[in-house]
Amino acid sequence: MTDAFGIQQSLQNIGIQPENPGSSTGTNWLDSGELSLSSISPADGNLIAKVQLANVETYEAIIAQAHLAFEKWRTVPAPQRGEIVREIGNALREVKADLGKLVSYEMGKSYQEGLGEVQEMIDICDFAVGLSRQLYGLTMHSERPGHRMYEQWHPLGIVGIISAFNFPVAVWSWNAALAWVCGDVCVWKPSEKAPLSAVACQHIAAKIFAKHGMPEGICNLIVGDYKVGELMSHDPRVPLISATGSTRMGKLVGKAVGERLGRSLLELGGNNAIIITEHADMDIAIRGALFGAVGTAGQRCTTTRRLIIHENVYEEVKTRLASAYSKLVIGNPLDERNHVGPLIDRDAVQSYLAAIEKVKTAGGQEVVAGGVVTGEGYQSGCYVKPAIFEAENHFEIVQHETFAPILYLIKYKTLPEAIALQNGVPQGLSSAIMTTNMREAEAFLAAAGSDCGIANVNIGTSGAEIGGAFGGEKETGGGRESGSDSWKAYMRRQTNTINYSTSLPLAQGIKFDI
């Protein structure tokens, strides 16, 4: 265990003993007897800690425990469930700095982004508390006299959560906080690339549930490889699987869950574009594009990967972006003077380098050169230079998502052409337009405009508030998490009809007399 940057102290402040961080289920870790998983920081290549891997026996024990916990948890009134979630949010407030530091060090995003991720968890807990008193159904007028119709919502049961490394804790909380107030219990499989942040969250939440005398099994954690995800996806005891990751992974999960007629909530790849029109406020456009492209080192599902620029301002945008890129400081994410941290691991670096070669081979023109950063302070081998290329939307590499800071510049003449380019990729997560022209903005937001789940005006593609439903269309999977009415994904709808009359009329006027 390394103590670089005070990580060991942060773990202890959260309540984790670094030499034995645990792995699965509630406050008492289940011993799987299996090999452990090493959490390696991409910031410096050092070992943070080892986390125990689950096996099939552990999985079965956790599912059984979760099922028993659900039988009690679903009977707790929703406002009381909300009160427990409120306390989890307060517990997160108390360790925000330490958990943010751990997220930053284990995943590689900047410390400010690590803090922001924890704040998202706090925000969704606040949202869920209010939601616990607003799980509304509808009433309907019956066609039959002396009858009343209404609908209500009931919890599903066990919600399986599969999360990705780039948001190692926030996306879990989007699902878990809503699922808990809805009366569900959760089984969480985090990314193998950021397991310790998940263990920290498990410790925090499990203590609050235990404080209230709730059974172990309301919140559960299983650290393991893709085989754990396969077990969850094929398990009929898990009615909903919420999976965040690549489109390839999502197709496998969706197929497995669909074959058993379960539910899946999929948040998959993005290939997000900003349209910069000739009427854009150029200062806002450049700032939005810059953070969208290089924030989290290009490892957000909402990262800006394409800039679709009007020909009249194309050269200005290109010049100003190149100038801004020259001022970026690449380095350890815990040093707040740095703008760009590392990629998650060396495999990601190889994918980044391969993408650069592909765009060059396709005919892309280099605007800002990429490459691996070497030397003192970069010994992990995971630091790369954000790159910019002039490209065509139809290039194969442009049609795919590369989880790295590579930005493609594409020129357009008319707004319909720009919108067609924006929509002309398989993914449909986030999109934006930079314009001060109301007609352009409204056209972008209209039915014939952006086909993405998120469409912004004069803000970038990256960054979302928890009050709105988050998710996308096409190969992004169609799922919605976080705000709005996303809670309905975690519940089952039931229509009820009550006959308070002294007769039994049938619907549609059917007669059935004996």
Q: Which residues contact 494 (CB under 8 A, 6 or more apart)?
A: 151, 152, 153, 154
What is d(CA 45, CA 345) in angstroms, rounded to the nearest whole number? 9
What is d(CA 268, CA 162) in angstroms, rounded to the nearest whole number? 11
What is d(CA 118, CA 431) in angstroms, rounded to the nearest whole number? 25
Q: Dihedrals φ, ψ of 46, to 5°?
A: -85, 155
What is d(CA 156, CA 395) in angstroms, rounded to the nearest whole number? 43
Q: Which of 87, 106, 117, 267 is catalytic?
A: 267
Mind spelling out the 3-state secondary structure of 21-53?
Answer: CCCCCCCCCCCCCCCEEEEECCCCCCEEEEEEC
CA trace torsion 284, 285, 286, 288 (10° rounding): 80
The separation between CA 187 and the C-alpha centre of its own chain, rounded to angstroms, equals 16
What is d(CA 408, CA 417) in angstroms, rounded to the nearest whole number? 17
465 classed as catalytic: no
What is d(CA 375, CA 388) in angstroms, rounded to the nearest whole number? 23
Closest CA to 436 of 289, 260, 277: 277
375, amino acid identity: G
Three-class DSSP category at 126: helix
Residue linked to tokens 């990705």: 164
Longest distance between any two alpha carbons in the chain, whole Å: 92
Closest CA to 406 of 480, 479, 298, 514: 298
Q: Which residues contact 467 (CB under 8 A, 6 or more apart)?
A: 127, 482, 483, 484
| DSSP code at position 5 | G
Q: Which of 125, 186, 219, 301 is catalytic?
A: 301
Mind spelling out the 3-state secondary structure of 74-120?
Answer: CCCCHHHHHHHHHHHHHHHHHCHHHHHHHHHHHHCCCHHHHHHHHHH
155, 230, 254, 307 from 260: Cα distances, Å: 19, 13, 10, 41
What is d(CA 52, CA 34) in angstroms, rounded to the nearest whole number? 7
Give, in degrees to the nearest 5, the angle at Cα 402 between 401 and 403: 110
β-pairing verdict for 263-267 and 240-244: parallel
301 classed as catalytic: yes
Please give the positions annotated as active site. 267, 301
